[in-house]
Amino acid sequence: MGSQRSRDNAEWISALTSTGQAQEAALADLREILVSGLRRGLAAWLEPYSPQLVSLAEEASQEALVRILAKLDTFEGRSRFTTWAYKVAIRIALTELRRKQWQDVSLDEMLEARADQGQEASVLDPQAGPETTVEQRDMLALIGRILQEELTERQLAMMQAVALRGVPMEALAQKLGVERNALYKMMHDARLKLKRRLAREGLELGDVMATFEGSNTSGGRVVKGESA
């Protein structure tokens, strides 16, 4: 680590686009820098110094070097070269990490309906008065109808998976065989559709949420448990 020589952006590009010893030395230095950066960057996901972290950092750095060399002409010099290189390596490492974490979960399992779906009435605050309960039930039914009318079945399933169950978009995109970017755009379209429809219905989101103010909206399990 201490033997790396410091380079500015131009020196990195020059060394990496050269041949022979200069390129080899730059690649070796960059690899060491990436491994070190990934070990820091991935510490929130994997135990520091764990074999998984060490192995992922090594593999992702190796793959990043190949990608960096192939995309060197896209580096615009608007950041430090090493920051740009970290970005490339981190994308590779986190994509691989998500792939491993979700490899045993099928697309159907990712998109399957929530366990509490269909039980919305049972999670209304039991301490709310009858009028409030009716108002809340009507509002939930209305929102459910709007979701159903505005979104395709697939859009709805994806919104549930990503927004409600925390399935990473990258993991879902991998299973669907699409880019994460395409999935984000699809979700954006869905959110826009819902926002416009709510506006057409004259519904202010603040008012919708206010219907449930004072109620425990953290999920059925907690409400039921706390009502005793």
- Least Å from the CB of residue 196 to another protein: 10
Asked if 147 is part of the footprint of another protein (rule: CB under 8 A), the reply reads yes
Asked if 164 is part of the footprint of another protein (rule: CB under 8 A), the reply reads yes
Of 14-22, 48-56, 102-110, 200-208, the segment contacting another protein by CB under 8 A is 200-208
Residue 188 identity: H
Q: Hey, which residues between 71 and 90 contact another protein (CB under 8 A)? A: 78-80, 82-84, 86-87, 90
Asked if 159 is part of the footprint of another protein (rule: CB under 8 A), the reply reads yes
CA atoms within 13 A on the CB side of 121: 6
With contact defined as beta carbons under 8 Å apart, do 110 and 167 qualify?
yes
Residue 193 identity: K
Tokens at 2, concatenated: 């201490």
Among 13, 72, 107, 156, binds another protein (CB under 8 A): 156
> How many degrees, rounded to 5, is the angle at CA 105 between CA 101 and CA 106?
140
- CA separation for the pair 191, 55 (Å, rounded): 39
Q: Which is nearer to another protein, 17 or 79 (CB)?
A: 79
Asked if 166 is part of the footprint of another protein (rule: CB under 8 A), the reply reads yes
Asked if 53 is part of the footprint of another protein (rule: CB under 8 A), the reply reads no
With contact defined as beta carbons under 8 Å apart, do 173 and 183 qualify?
yes
Q: Hey, which residues between 98 and 127 contact another protein (CB under 8 A)? A: 98, 114, 116-120, 123-125
